Amino acid sequence: MNSCRLLHHEPAIGAWNMAVDEMLLERAQQGAAPCLRFYGWSEPTLSLGYFQEYQHRTQHAASRNCGVVRRLTGGGAILHDRELTYSLILPPKHRFAEHRDELYRAVHGCLIEVLRQLGIPAELSPGERADDSPGPFLCFQRRALGDVVVGPTKIAGSAQRRRNGAVLQHGSLLWKASPAAPELPGLEDVAARPIALETLKSLWIDRLQGVLGCPWRHNEPLCEKEVREAEGLVKCRYAWENWALNRGRGLIAVKIPFDDADGS
């Protein structure tokens, strides 16, 4: 049975977080083992969906002073702050890599099982009727088929990017409302009783192991080559203002200052 790499990363800046996800996706295209990564954000950060217009961020006044990064995946903007963020990267030959909806259901289904085990009545969202409107600016004000909801509140959602058969799925579990997005309650805000984030995370990891069909490889940090590749993506893409503004097209390159790429 093939193993799956399990990574737990400390909070870091948005450019580094997105660069590591893309680096792992590039390695998966070359046949690297599946990887599940959990990480956080060193400061409240707004991530724009790949196709969102940058100027639309003015629709959300509370996050106006937050840093901005553009994701590889589509969908609405996410204010990353008091949350648990994950990325799951699968190589082309993995059984879930070719099945977009099945992968969403597998990951979110495991989360729902854990939440119910902890006494929280979570379920999959039926979605909303599609129309021609772009939808709200913030992802967590939208409802897509397969989102995780507790009553009317969306507490988890995910998005995907595929390259040459490999897939990156990353998503957020909102834990508590952020001052930069006070209109969005998190799980702790809607749960009838307190739960420990580390307990939920551990139970979720255990269930995902069975669903993904591979044992975890623990305590395996990024190697030097992986760090260099991620740093290269920060410097050539995620730390440049023209990537955030327009995916790097048709604009003069203006580098966004950053101090420590790995957030340490």
Each residue's pLDDT tens digit, 48-67: 999 999 999 999 999 999 99
Q: Distance between CA 185 and CA 232 in Å, rounded?
A: 36
Q: Distance between CA 239 and CA 41 in Å, rounded?
A: 15
Q: Distance between CA 76 and CA 66 in Å, rounded?
A: 16
Per-residue DSSP letter, 158: E
Matching residue, tokens 């903007």: 77
Question: CB–CB of 81/181 below 8 Å?
Answer: yes
Helix axes 14-29, 224-233, angle to 10 degrees: 120
* Active site (annotated) includes residue 4: no
Res 255: pLDDT: 43
Is residue 188's pLDDT more than 50? yes
Is residue 251's pLDDT more than 70? no
What the chain holds in terms of domains, given with CATH numbers, is 4-246 (3.30.930.10)
- Element (H or E) spanning 36, and its range? strand 35-39
Res 214: pLDDT: 87
CA 80, distance to chain mean position in Å, is: 9
Q: Six-digit token pair at 148?
A: 């995780």
Res 253: pLDDT: 43
Whole-model pTM: value is 0.90
Give the active site residue among 35, 66, 110, 139: 139
pLDDT tens track for 141-187: 999 989 999 999 999 999 999 999 999 999 999 999 999 999 999 99
The model's confidence at residue 132, banded by pLDDT at 50, 70 and 90, is low
* DSSP 3-state of 163: strand
Res 262: pLDDT: 33
- Element (H or E) spanning 66, and its range? none
pLDDT tens track for 74-115: 999 999 999 999 999 999 989 898 888 899 999 999 999 999
Question: CB–CB of 123/116 below 8 Å?
Answer: no
